[in-house]
Structure 1
């Protein structure tokens, strides 16, 4: 029952935005890793009565800001802050931040002025194989992988809206382009596939086999609406330095050789120790027998005439 209510609420919100024409003015598109500010045209002079509520379509509403104070029970409270104009700031946006943000002001329990409904849409790029090392910054990502291997980049738009609405009604489109802005669909070495998922309206994957000249090459996933750029994510491939690889190999070989020498020495010591002890016992016994002979039994040296 709760799931049906959530779906109804989401449908009403989207329908309301379509009928009032607020979609676009209240939509914010951002790339993961960046910072974003969700604005609110406040009615009161201060933000002590401001409440920001979050809804993602999967769970109940969560109050992020209550009476101008951050809710510490929220998982993202450390990344949130409230501006003097009551705008909500979110640092280092993640894919979990997409959804609907509602701002309201209350005085003595009565709502003041209109609500602000802001839909946050997050564009994110992931890479496979997952074994490659990767790093991300606020506006770009990069991965270290060897040439000759196949790599797949997946560009995903996380949104509450349906694909039919975003693509057909609003004219949204995802594109993979090179550094010069040329659509990679025109190059046969790239395989590009479009798909979707319940919480990721648009998924555009790019698959290619890396060449030597791809070192430090940049690809961009762009989100456009009616040919106007909304946001983009850059992805750069960086090959490991061959000198560093050779140095690491040399160190590894040296360490391995030293280990083998130590093992041989230990093995020799283990097997040689019993032999040395046995020789010492034999020598000691022989020396003891000579000392125990009677004087008359001791052979006299032959005197030469």
Structure 2
């Protein structure tokens, strides 16, 4: 058997190395490393970045997908689609980003910025939009209130797919930013079978007037968004509990 020369061995090594690099690129694309996650509170305006934009937006198409088997074109080659339900709330930024005004819980989902070059489909850049919404019950006669915090996240069924893969967590904190736990008897914190919903029941005290509670969302231990609720004393003609009055987006 003919023994390989050092030059032949090096050539095989380089071919093997190139193969590994190509395989690594394929795996990176499949795992969604280049995907972006955007967190927003309902009622706010949001900008979804297009991370693969070319020299102008005439090659850019934005596609929306909330369910695995459906897709809608919002922007086609830089032009807003006329039959889009959300047409009045959509606009294309100068950098080809997609702007959505007055976000609702119906806007969560997967958005794809796709490029077409000479009529041929090019690369895609994915954006996952997560919408945080907090609601509440009226203050009861026994002076307690329940807050509901829900993250609308793609895919919704099951929500724990995105929560576990992206290490997304929902939790309540007090005005000082301390995480609330079940050790305090006047707080009842519960999570449903859906990890994207967490509720907080509070037995109110006199000193709770104007006190804040916040629902925080973290991704990989980094704060992404926080919605604050403030309890007000009940007065004739006014609601005892306000809507969100503050949010923090990171």
* Shorter-normalised TM range: 0.7 to 0.9
Superposed displacement of residue 117, structure 1: 1.0
Paired position in structure 1 for 2:166: 170
User: After superposition, what is the alpha-carbon deviation per residue over 1:92-144, rounded to whole angstroms, capped at 9, x for unaligned?
Assistant: 211111111011122453224x1111111111111124xxxxxxxxxxxxxxx
Alignment equivalent of 2:231, drawn from 213, 232, 237: 237
Number of corresponding residues: 209
Paired position in structure 1 for 2:175: 179
Q: Distance in 2 between matches of 1:86 and 1:70?
A: 12
Q: Distance in 1 between matches of 2:152 and 2:128?
A: 11
How do 1:213-292 residues align onto structure 2 when only pairs under 5 Å count? 213-241=207-235
Q: Distance in 2 between matches of 1:207 and 1:18?
A: 43
Paired position in structure 2 for 1:55: 65
Q: Distance in 2 between matches of 1:119 and 1:17?
A: 17
Structure 1: state its 5+ residue gaps: 1-15, 130-144, 246-305
Rg larger in 1 or in 2? 1
Do residues 22 (structure 1) and 18 (structure 2) align? Answer: no
Higher helix share goes to which structure? 1
User: What RMSD in Å do the two structures reach over aligned CA positions?
Assistant: 2.6
Q: Distance in 1 between matches of 2:117 and 2:30?
A: 29
- For the residue of structure 1 that corresponds to 2:57, the secondary structure is coil
Q: Distance in 2 between matches of 1:117 and 1:99?
A: 11
- Equivalent residues of 1:191, 1:207 under 8 A apart: yes
Q: Distance in 1 between matches of 2:150 and 2:65?
A: 20
Q: Distance in 2 between matches of 1:56 and 1:17?
A: 23
User: After superposition, what is the alpha-carbon deviation per residue over 1:276-305, rounded to whole angstroms, capped at 9, x for unaligned?
Assistant: xxxxxxxxxxxxxxxxxxxxxxxxxxxxxx
Do residues 192 (structure 1) and 189 (structure 2) align? Answer: yes
- Equivalent residues of 2:112, 2:126 under 8 A apart: yes
Do residues 203 (structure 1) and 197 (structure 2) align? Answer: yes
Superposed displacement of residue 44, structure 1: 2.9
